[in-house]
A and B are shown apart, each in its own frame.
Chain A
Amino acid sequence: VSASSIGRLVMLFLVRWSRYNPYYLEPEPRKELYNMPETELTTEQKEERELKAVRPIKATTNSTTSSVFNDPVLSKFVNMMMRDGEKILARGILTQTLESLKRKQVEKYHKAPQGKKAEIECNPYAIFHQALENCMPVIGLASIQKGGKFYQVPVPLTDNRRRFLAMKWMITECRDNKNRRTLMYEKLSQELLAAYSKEGNVIKRKHELHKMAESNRAYAHYRWW
């Protein structure tokens, strides 16, 4: 099937994940770019606008919003927590987690004496991002074959891979190591608070990975990239 017929097919059934003709442009959900007056645009932006008037645009996913409260890291986390396509449930769990994080911190804030108030972080988003940062490994292991055997070789990781590993560890930890009676959002909020203060099982897992990488230092030269 040639490229032109694919392009024509896509025009009939605009399915998101099918292979789009490169003719199609990416959608732009951010509101600020549309509110800018004519004078402030650079030449490239002016060209882009003219192009958008002519070319077709890909469909966005359901979870893209132009809301100010949109956060790509949180959306990624929700997608990773989702099972069987139940995004509403996953997003509900995340909002309950943020709420319970905020409740615990605000309660501590109101009960703390005046001097200690500035140290307590009440913003659940800040806590979430900081906790994820604390969980991200610096170095990872790759399985490389040399002379018939497989060696675990220490290897640098990309940012995406690090973020993915942090989120994956957080979610598996909360799913596996919790009491039957505790709810997911409770366990998640406990783990996030622990990771924020650099304690807890997820941080331990990150340190173990670092130790493994350190112990396998001798095989580092097996890496060729």
Chain B
Amino acid sequence: MTLHRLFPLRLRQTVTQVRLLHGSGCGHQLEEVAMEPELRKETSVFRTQVNDPACQSERHLGQYYTLPTSHLHTIFPHGLPARYQQQVKTFNEGCVMVRQPPAVRYLLCILHQEGNDLYVSKRPVLLTLTGWVDGLKGSGKTMSLCHTIHYCSTQGWLVLHIPDAHLWVKNCKELLPSSYHTSRFDQPIEASNWLRNFRTTNERFLSKIKLRQRYTWTKRESTEKGSPLGELVDMGVSRVKSSSDVVGAVLKELRLQAAETEESEGFRLAVAIDGVNSLWGRTTIKKEDKSPVAPEELTLIHNLRKMIDNNWCGGAVIATLSQTGSLYSPSSAYLPKELLGEEGFDSMDPFIPVPVSNYSEKEFESCYLYYLDRHWLQHPHSKTDEGKKEIIFLSNRNPSVLERLCAFL
């Protein structure tokens, strides 16, 4: 009865649905918990056998679950941070930590619950992962994004993952004027790389989705209406010159078709962008007459902005703001308003900010135990209490600083 007073109707549905979720799908997990209440001592438990993100709940906070190797190669050909990829190679396994409610759990709850409402709502659900306290660099935003993408993939969603949008606005080796629109510029290399990775991630959708429109690339080449998406993507990978336009076409088709309501044809779209603040910033790319290129003049960025606009339904946009790769922004900027700018904030509005902060004590414990288990902390003093206190002091429980510190200890 208290529910009625505390929560309005819609959120009440949320709470009941979430309860049902945890009750029905993972009933066996709850029974296990009932049988071993005393064994859950924080010091010894840092791994969990539950590898499916859908079944992970608050009980698994701070624990590591293993990413199956097949998923690593298909879902994340380009998504994981470089140091994490090195770690996966060294430890011969990829383990991700299930983090606190303010970060990924909240996201997963919302996504799972909203999943059934998505066809009804008029707009995509926009979630932004921001570094919350004190300009937090290295607090685990990209890893949280990857955790969410793993969840979406296992639930059968189509994942559109842009690993680092900052890479598209700087250091461009080849800039071609766009064939479709005269004032815009193409980036063939980045576009074809992205299409190749997109193909690896979403193999099973490529033959199911049919095109709604006819696309003409040159006088002799065109893709007919009704042909599968896979053909379009292959064309973009092989014909590098028109790959940026192919990317635009792919995004448009997915946007139109994500709103399908029929069970067999419909799919849900998850757009995951890392470093979304680069879409509204400045670029370092210059035209031939040395004048700077604005982000709107790049085809890839223009098409991405259309994805973030609120005029399609049937999916979610998950984005990370990062100052690290961004151009012309001060290193102390961490709030969404500062990083996105006026224009960016208005187009991302309304969004749900999800803060990602440093490790809590429990999370730090489990990270420490994980490194000990994988024989990563080798210095004899690092296994003592004094050494541990020193590690906490030096790293302030920041995930990336901790990782770099333990690398040579």
Contact = CB atoms under 8 A, between A and B. Distances in A.
Contact of B375 (A67, A95, A99, A109): A109
A140 B380 CA distance: 34
9 pairs of A and B residues whose beta carbons are closest in the complex: A123-B378, A68-B381, A95-B408, A110-B92, A99-B407, A98-B408, A99-B408, A103-B90, A107-B90
Interface of B: 86, 89-92, 374-376, 378-382, 384, 386-387, 390, 407-409
Interface in A97-145: 98-99, 102-103, 106-107, 109-111, 122-125
B375 A122 contact: yes
Contacts of A103: 86, 90
Per DSSP, are chain B's interface residues mostly helix, strand or loop, or mixed? Answer: helix
A69 interface: yes
Contacts of A123: 378-380
B374 to A, nearest CB: 7
A124 B379 CA distance: 8
Given A68-B384, A69-B390, A124 B92 contact: no
Nearest to A94: B408
Interface residues of A, number: 18
B381 A69 contact: yes
Contacts of B379: 69, 123, 125
A102 B381 contact: no
Contacts of A107: 89-90, 92
B379 to A, nearest CB: 6
Contacts of B408: 95-96, 98-99, 102, 124
19 contacts: A67-B390, A68-B381, A68-B384, A68-B386, A69-B379, A69-B382, A95-B407, A95-B408, A98-B408, A102-B376, A102-B407, A103-B86, A103-B90, A106-B90, A106-B374, A109-B375, A110-B91, A123-B379, A125-B379
Contacts of A69: 379, 381-382, 387, 390, 409
Contacts of B91: 106, 110
Interface string A147-160: 00000000000000
